């Protein structure tokens, strides 16, 4: 039988994380035909939704996958924070993950286990089996540095972080406002904060942490963490950017393509808040009127306001009647007044395809890391509009660190007003500041392409890592 190296990948039930780790997995087996991967997937609910199934149905034959029995979460409060819902699924899935790893390792020796950064509980399971244990971190190296530094901050700062006047210092990173720290750090008495710290401490068991970033994007942070390896920090492997490939058929007769084809090059602002991002109805109205006031072309993917109901990452496409009611949340007459300048697409559109269209000149974005990397690889400058999780940290990196984004100001009620939106949109699309941002983003685009070339920094790093794994490969 052919000599194969068997790797186990453990995912989490968060759509954006699944997309990222599966893109890494596809790159891994494409680059190394004698590597076989088994993906182990915790689940909740009756069964994975269509979007999740579609991710797995397109995987090559040398990637197999297992969906663990769904976790029953009926005892949890209905209004539980989505992050805690995911963590409850992770904790309850650990015994099943251990059973699968035991079976895989006994039948065909595993060379390594790679677990999503949210499920660090897998790392000690791998150690018990004497298997190399790695974490795949789908966000920024900046966030990783914070995670590795979070226990130190917890011990040295006594007050609530959000009450601090001074900026937070993170190794290798720009100082950031405490209000830009991730959601779990905004309330130190919360269960989410406790889970955050406990998960971060387990990172130190890893033989290495792979980051969906690249050297030119976060060089100072990456170098700083690599220098700290002698202090017990795991080896850091920047191997990105991994973004979803454009699999859409551009010949299909979609309205958004007709609209974009009519626009001049780099003249259109793409507006989208990701798979789980929602605004209040009041904010939707302000955004609509701000776009109208700016006079700039726009393509807006509109999702229901958060008053309409919480939308989970994995529930995309589950609402049959959304398209019929969505447009009612817009200001009266807005669609008619802007029909020559803009197009509103209900609920969903193929983002990678849109960002690759020549007419797109800017992206009003929630700063999720997948969307950010997609923007970078297409050279699209950003308006940073973070919503939750670590997105405010990402926004700080993009606007203050890399200077490839403009971040609008929020009023005392937490609303970005129409006048501010108008000014920011015009500044990015036709203003002097926008020109400089576009030049810097074009430079990052080139750096991202270079990182993935045959001799690029990310490719060489991944090759170095897989050579280590392949040396342990056995017949499977």
Q: Which residues are catalytic?
A: 17, 116
> In angstroms, how far is the first alpha carbon of the chain from the final one?
7
CB pairs under 8 A, 24+ apart, for 389-393?
389/83, 389/182, 389/183, 390/139, 390/140, 390/143, 390/182, 390/183, 391/366, 391/367, 392/179, 392/180, 392/181, 392/182, 392/367, 393/140, 393/142, 393/143, 393/146, 393/176, 393/180, 393/181, 393/182
What is the CB neighbour count within 10 angstroms for residue 74? 5
């Amino acid at each position: 039988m052919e000599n194969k190296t068997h790797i186990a990948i453990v995912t989490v039930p968060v759509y954006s994380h699944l997309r990222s780790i599966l893109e890494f997995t596809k790159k891994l087996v494409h680059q190394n035909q004698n590597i076989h991967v088994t993906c182990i997937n915790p689940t909740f609910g009756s069964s994975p939704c269509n979007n999740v199934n579609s991710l797995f149905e397109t995987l090559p034959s040398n990637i197999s996958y297992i969906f663990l029995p769904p976790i029953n979460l009926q005892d949890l409060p209905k209004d539980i924070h989505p992050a805690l819902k995911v963590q409850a699924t992770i904790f309850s899935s650990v015994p099943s993950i251990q059973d699968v790893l035991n079976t895989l390792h006994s039948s065909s020796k595993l060379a390594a286990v790679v677990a999503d950064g949210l499920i660090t509980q897998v790392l000690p399971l791998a150690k018990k089996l004497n298997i190399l244990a790695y974490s795949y971190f789908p966000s920024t190296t900046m966030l990783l540095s914070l995670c590795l530094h979070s226990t130190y901050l917890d011990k040295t700062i006594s007050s609530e972080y959000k009450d601090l006047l001074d900026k937070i210092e993170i190794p290798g990173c720009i100082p950031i406002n405490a209000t830009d720290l991730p959601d779990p750090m905004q309330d130190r008495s919360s269960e989410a904060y406790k889970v955050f710290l406990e998960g971060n401490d387990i990172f130190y068991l890893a033989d290495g942490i792979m980051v969906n970033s690249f050297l030119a994007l976060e060089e100072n942070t990456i170098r700083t963490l690599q220098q700290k390896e002698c202090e017990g920090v795991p080896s850091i492997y920047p191997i990105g950017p991994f973004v979803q490939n454009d699999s859409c058929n551009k010949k299909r007769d979609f309205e958004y393509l007709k609209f974009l084809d009519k626009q001049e090059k780099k003249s259109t602002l793409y507006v989208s808040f990701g798979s789980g991002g929602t605004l209040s109805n009041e904010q939707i109205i302000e955004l609509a009127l701000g776009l109208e006031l700016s006079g700039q072309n726009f393509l807006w993917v509109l999702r229901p306001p958060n008053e309409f109901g919480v939308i989970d990452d994995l529930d995309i496409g589950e609402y049959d009647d959304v398209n019929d009611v969505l447009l009612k949340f817009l200001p009266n007459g807005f669609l008619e007044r802007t029909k020559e300048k803009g197009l509103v697409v209900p609920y969903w559109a193929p983002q990678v395809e849109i960002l690759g269209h020549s007419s797109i000149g800017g992206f009003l974005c929630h700063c999720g890391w997948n969307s950010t990397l997609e923007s970078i690889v297409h050279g699209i400058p950003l308006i940073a509009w973070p919503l939750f999780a670590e997105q405010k940290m990402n926004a700080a990196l993009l606007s203050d660190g890399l200077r490839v984004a403009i971040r609008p100001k929020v009023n005392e009620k937490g609303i970005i007003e129409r006048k501010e939106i108008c000014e920011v949109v015009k500044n990015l699309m036709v203003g002097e500041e926008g020109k400089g941002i576009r030049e810097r983003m074009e430079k990052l685009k080139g750096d991202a392409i270079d990182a993935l070339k045959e001799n690029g920094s990310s490719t060489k790093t991944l090759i170095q890592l897989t050579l280590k794994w392949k040396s342990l490969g056995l017949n499977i």
